[in-house]
């Protein structure tokens, strides 16, 4: 009988230790789960912001291409092409600025000499795009992009092209 009493007292001492260890492991697993959820939420917000910047980037590229394709190049004048809504969330404004003065046309490109009556008119096209995920309210996902493109147009030495 003495032996049984000894084994019963051993078991009762061990039951408390199992409970403490189980609670510690449960705490560690819960902490890891909460940390993982916070990380996933942050990564999702970063992906949304990156995606919205891509929308603004593409809208600015579209505005730049439209501005240059219109062919509204007037020396001595800046041309504001206004604001264009690409879709419900994205808008772009584009301008073409004249950069004074005209220069001589590069000889190697056109084989024309000085005094030929041909000039290179320099312009700077710029497109500013804004992409909003909730139009009318400021959110952390609104994004803007500015794209510029310098170019020149070869034409006669006059102010109208």
* Mean pLDDT calculated for residue range 75-96: 83
Q: Do the Cβ atoms of 90 and 158 come closer than 8 Å?
A: no
Mind listing the pLDDT tens digit for each residue in 93-145? 998 888 887 777 665 555 555 556 777 888 899 999 988 877 666 666 788 99
User: Tokens in use for 14?
Assistant: 């061990």
Q: What is the DSSP string of 137-161?
A: S--TT-EEEEEEEEEEEEEESSS--
Mind listing the pLDDT tens digit for each residue in 22-76? 999 999 999 999 999 999 988 988 888 888 899 999 999 988 888 888 877 877 7
Which backbone phi and psi does 43 adopt, to 5 degrees?
-65, -35
The reported pTM is 0.64
**Per the omega criterion (within 30 degrees of 0), is the bond before 72 cis?**
no
The residue extents of the domains of the chain are 2-156
């Amino acid at each position: 009988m003495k032996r049984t009493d000894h084994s019963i007292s051993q078991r009762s001492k061990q039951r408390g230790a199992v409970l403490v260890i189980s609670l510690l492991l449960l705490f560690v697993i819960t902490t890891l789960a909460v940390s993982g959820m916070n990380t996933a939420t942050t990564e999702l917000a970063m992906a949304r912001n990156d995606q919205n910047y891509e929308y603004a980037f593409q809208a600015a590229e579209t505005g730049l291409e439209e501005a240059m394709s219109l062919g509204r190049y007037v020396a001595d004048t800046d041309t504001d092409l206004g604001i264009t809504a690409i879709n419900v969330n994205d808008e772009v404004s584009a301008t073409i600025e004249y950069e004074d003065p005209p220069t001589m046309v590069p000889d190697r490109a056109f084989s024309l000499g000085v005094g030929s009556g041909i000039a290179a008119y320099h312009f700077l096209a710029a497109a500013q795009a804004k992409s909003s995920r909730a139009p009318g309210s400021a959110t952390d996902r609104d994004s803007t992009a500015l794209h510029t493109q310098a170019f020149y147009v070869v034409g006669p030495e006059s102010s109208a092209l």
